[in-house]
């Protein structure tokens, strides 16, 4: 049960844009108020009294309902298993060996359908897979089906960003017997190979592309590249994976 003075303090700070965690930490420095944790403040915000006052509108996400805590714990557990990109071997970073891929999503306007794009770091081969949903289960299923049928034995490592679509990365790693690395948060430029590939794909598939009618084949793998001594990605890739 929160004291009236504490409730007033919480409401005042919420209106200033403070998060429950900041408020709980600051309360410990105020002598006349009882110490509480941020979860207690969340419970107050989503209590009948807090909902009547619409205190949730002062939170960053302004959600009318709060997600169960068990879901957040599962997400944190998955996050803790991620291999950071700083642990990626030097031979992968220098493109000395093949079989090391980078992945990303390319989105389009007015549709949930997108492209799951991958690029092999050494050969620069680009793969674009049409996917109808950004949900982790759908994205994982699409990747396993396509790559499993076409390029199963070519994947030694895969580098991704922290998009929620890649939450089931453990299933991907287990299926391909490959190690998956993740960029640091908000630093997707750390996988610049796929970023460059996405820019090239945009020349063929602009944001307004009708994904339902998309039948155009990616021709970028038949385009010579200076970094490959003017060979094509297809030629370079087939030299290592016949």
Query: What is the spatial distance between Cα 194 and Cα 117, in angstroms, rounded to a whole number?
Result: 7
Domain range summary for the chain, segments of one domain joined by +: 4-66, 82-240
- Name 201's Cβ contacts closer than 8 Å, sequence gap at least 6: 106, 115, 117, 126, 128, 218, 220
The rounded mean pLDDT for the chain is: 88
pLDDT digits (tens, 9 = 90+) for 123-168: 999 999 999 888 999 999 999 998 888 888 899 999 999 999 999 9
Alpha helix stretches (DSSP H) within the chain: 4-15, 20-27, 38-45, 48-52, 69-80, 90-93, 136-150, 169-176, 192-204, 233-240
Query: pTM for the full model?
Result: 0.67
pLDDT at 216: 59
pLDDT in tens, 18-75: 999 999 999 989 888 889 999 999 999 999 999 999 999 999 888 888 766 555 555 4
Structure tokens at 52: 């009547």
> What per-residue string of b and e applies to 51-87 under the rule 16 or more CB within 10 Å gives b?
eebebbebbeeeeeeeeeeeeeeeeeeeeeebeebee
Alpha-carbon span 22 to 73, nearest angstrom: 21
Residue 178 pLDDT more than 80? yes
Question: Hey, what CATH topology would domain 82-240 get?
Answer: Nucleotidyltransferase; domain 5 (3.30.420)
């Amino acid at each position: 049960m929160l004291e009236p003075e504490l409730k007033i303090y919480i409401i005042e700070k919420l209106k200033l844009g403070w998060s429950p965690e900041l408020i709980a930490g600051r309360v410990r420095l105020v002598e006349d108020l009882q110490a509480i944790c941020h979860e207690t403040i969340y419970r107050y915000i989503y209590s009948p009294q807090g909902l009547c006052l619409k205190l949730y509108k002062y939170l960053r996400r302004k959600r009318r309902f709060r997600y169960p805590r068990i879901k957040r714990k599962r997400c944190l557990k998955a996050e803790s298993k991620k291999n950071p990109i700083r642990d990626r071997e030097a031979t992968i970073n220098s493109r000395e060996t093949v079989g090391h891929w980078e992945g990303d999503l390319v989105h389009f306007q007015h549709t949930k359908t997108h492209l799951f794009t991958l690029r092999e770091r050494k050969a620069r081969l680009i793969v674009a897979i049409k996917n109808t949903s950004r949900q982790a289960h759908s994205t994982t299923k699409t990747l396993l089906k396509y790559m499993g049928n076409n390029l199963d034995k070519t994947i030694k490592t895969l580098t991704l960003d922290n998009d929620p679509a890649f939450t089931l990365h453990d299933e991907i790693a287990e299926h391909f017997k490959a190690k998956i690395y993740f960029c640091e948060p908000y630093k997707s430029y750390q996988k610049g190979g796929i970023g460059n590939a996405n820019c090239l794909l945009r020349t063929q598939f602009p944001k307004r592309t009708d994904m339902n009618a998309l039948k155009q084949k990616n021709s970028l793998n038949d385009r010579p590249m200076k970094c490959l001594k003017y060979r094509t990605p297809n030629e370079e890739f087939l030299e290592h994976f016949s």
